[in-house]
Amino acid sequence: MEKKKKIKRVIVIITIGVLLIAAAVFIVFRFMGGSHVGIDNNPEAPPQGNINTLVVYFSWSGNDQKMARWIAEEKGADIFRIVPADDYGSDYQACADRAKSELDNGTRPELAEHIDSEIMAKYDTIFLGFPVWWYDLPMPVWTFLEEYDLSGKTIIPFFSHNGSSDGANTLNRVKELAPNSDVKADDAISINGGKVASSEKQVKEWADKF
């Protein structure tokens, strides 16, 4: 009898443990994975520097690309996509693991696309878009910000997320990596990834304020 009770207790404990693990996995995936509109890998037209505004973005699953393209359209601005030389692939877990290890190790991934410094010098305003990754700025954006002399330029951040609606550490990170720029962190727009598809009007109206 005592033995039966013990076995029952062990089964209950194991069941609760399994349920807790499943719930944790579900929450992490829901929170981190998020919804997305899908990335378009067609290259953007190369920036020419004939206007003073440039929209720069990094996007893995398309949300920030969508926002970037709306902003560029609204402002008649040039656009530049931050493209890592070694892409993050399409598997969420592989992307998440690599992103975490890059952040932990301070890795600056090499970029595949670059802007001529003379052309970069022509812009005085940069809209900078990115997803929140592990509560911080994705490392390719670190590489971008460190590659160029952005002093004296105005940087206006925009981002999407799946819960970190205040951008977690991203906005402070932009300020830290572009210390001589005027980073409009308080004016940044934040859109939940699941709402990006229906936010064209909101994003364009926001861009019009600048």
Ligand X SMILES: Cc1cc2nc3c(=O)[nH]c(=O)nc-3n(C[C@H](O)[C@H](O)[C@H](O)COP(=O)(O)O)c2cc1C
Residues that bind ligand X (CB under 6 A): 32, 34, 36, 59-64, 95-96, 99, 131-135, 160-164, 168, 193
CB of 122 to ligand X, least distance (A): 26
Closest residue by Cα to residue 140 from 85, 193, 78, 190? 85
CB of 67 to ligand X, least distance (A): 8
Integer angstrom CA distances of residue 35 from 42, 59, 73, 191: 21, 13, 24, 12
Closer to ligand X at the Cβ: 73 or 182? 73
H and E: helices and strands count for the chain: 7, 6
CB of 86 to ligand X, least distance (A): 15
**DSSP conformation letters of 79-135:** EEE--BSS---S-HHHHHHHHHHHHHHT--PPBS----HHHHTT-SEEEEEEE-BTT
Contact 149/75 with Cβ under 8 angstroms? Answer: no
Closer to ligand X at the Cβ: 32 or 183? 32
Q: Which residue is nearest to ligand X (CB)?
A: 193
Closer to ligand X at the Cβ: 60 or 127? 60
Closer to ligand X at the Cβ: 95 or 177? 95
CB of 3 to ligand X, least distance (A): 47
Closer to ligand X at the Cβ: 81 or 184? 81
Q: How far apart are CA 191 and CA 167, in angstroms?
A: 10
Integer angstrom CA distances of residue 66 from 55, 71, 84, 148, 180: 12, 9, 18, 24, 28
CB of 41 to ligand X, least distance (A): 13
